[in-house]
Structure 1
Amino acid sequence: MKREDFQKFLIKKLSDNYMYHITEIYSKDNTESFWGLEKRINERNICLVFLNKDNINNVEEQKYDGFIKILILEDVDVRTPLTVRNEEINNVIILDKEKNSIVYCPQELSEIGGQIYSILNYRLEIEKRKKDKSFITNLLIGINIVLYIITAVLSKNIFDSDIRVLVFLGAKVNELISQGEYYRLFTAMFLHGGLMHLVLNMYALYALGPLVEKVYGKIKYLIIYFIAGMISSVFSYLFSSGVSIGASGAIFGLLGASLIFGVKMRDKVGKGMVRNIIYVIGINVFIGVAMPNIDNFGHMGGLIGGIIISFILWKDNMFN
């Protein structure tokens, strides 16, 4: 988050939560202005003004009973002296934007410091939730990347995977599955034939995964991903004789889940989302037909599996 965004966030939350009124404070030479907040506290007119280390001493202190400078810095080293006049040190609260923390708050300003502290904690919670929303997607991407690294090391080639290595690691091979190696229906979805194959699939997973993870929740997301991937492998086993690998079947399942979401929530998200998803599906089907060595039956199996399992898992009250 940029300094300006950090400052806007603080101003908005102080205004919304603690009834401060937004105002404008000018520099001593009247050439620039600063955001401020004013409020009457205990029969005193208090003003908070947001500054940085370059302009902290260049602000016109208007006639308030309490004039408090909120100094926002980045990567504060507490050993570094600050250019604040000694007589004003009790009127300054220092924040570290990068550490999302209060570096200095005098005892006299503990009430305001407590308000800012609660807002900083709230911001931290928001950031944690954002990260948590994509945890499963990031985990799946990580697993795919690790297995590709193993494949590349065994293949002695970072750009193209040796077919013998892929078979050894669990690619879908019809003859071996017929002999009882059913685990290949699962392991095949984590293997990739080359660096470009991996990059394209991981980009698609990165683009689609967070939406499905947020909409359906982490457990249902995993169920959709793995069942769609398994059905993709089954379709490939039944209708395609070639060796097959890749996460694209499971990713087509996420497209199916997105389609169900768009249809169910069309009154809230708009019909345009459904059209866009159908368009993306159509483009991918066309690419699959036009280009060689693409397991279209696996893609269709993943899409159908994703639609069916998402429809079963969907609850009408998920967004109520």
Structure 2
Amino acid sequence: MSKVPIILMAGLLPTLCLSQTPPAIDYAARVESVADLKEHIAQREVRFESVKKDLHALDERVEKQISDIVTRLSSLRDSNESKTRVANVKADVMHALVRTTGVYRQKRMEAFERIRKDPGAPKEMLEREIAIFDERVGKRIQQIVEIARSQPGHVDIEKYESDGGHYWRGWAVENTRISEDWKQNRRDSTSDEKIRRELVEGLDKALERNQARRASLASNLATGKQTENSKEAMEEELGRTDAIIDDLRAQKRELTLPSVGATREIGRDEARDGEAMLDDARADLARDMAEIMRKFTELDREGTNIHSLKENLKAREEWLKNNPPPAGGTPSKE
């Protein structure tokens, strides 16, 4: 073997050794970094609280608007003039409320998966989000059932009514016609049956979906192959799923109860005005719901960032605790 490579390699050895020498620790800089990080965290917490306040105000406004719409609709019923306008508006609102539950379910599943997969995720914050989403879904279903039960059910009304009469060959002949009230009651009954049938089908699907999810969670837990973090998350999710199933069953039972029936009939013009008002409210709610989801995403991002910063701070403070200041100003070595 040639001696040149060996000489060259020998010449490199001192350089390699020097490059592996641990650098001196600037202890004062370490202490300063802790103070800087605390200030950074304080700034982000101010931002977090600001976003949280905005979200809370927006959420309260949306909840009040939805509650007002549900209360108003639940007090109205069609008349002989409006035919099925009110029933159609109620159906539109219920379908819109169903769509919002889908948005909430998607967001809560994202939060759950983060808890399950990431041991370092901000668990407490995400669990609060899940609780909020579950509460909102339950509330929407209750509002849907409330609107459905406000639809007038079937009542016994005479089908025919007198339409005057005449005499024929000395005999009094009474003319009859189908009662307008009977026609309206039939329209009400048909709308009520259609609305309830669709809602029962929707609740049945929701029950099947959650029962299948419960079975999947239980099956996965039975294998014992999860990490401790994933196992704990799935056990907690199992309990939440049981609560959701119980709530869905209760809502389905309530839907089978007789209609409470709205009390105020409205005419064609008022029903038309109500449709226009609902169109505006629907557009407002669509924008507000999109903004709420955006705010939730922003709040989640800020919360996750703060959680990571605090974990970093904890590690730095732990290092300082385990590495006291060097004596005589000599920096300690790692």
Query: Which TM-score band applies after superposition, normalised by the shorter structure?
Result: under 0.3
Q: 1 or 2, which has the higher helix percentage?
A: 2
Q: Which has the larger radius of gyration?
A: 2
Query: TM (normalized to structure 2)?
Result: 0.26
Query: TM (normalized to structure 1)?
Result: 0.27
Q: 1 or 2, which has the higher strand percentage?
A: 1
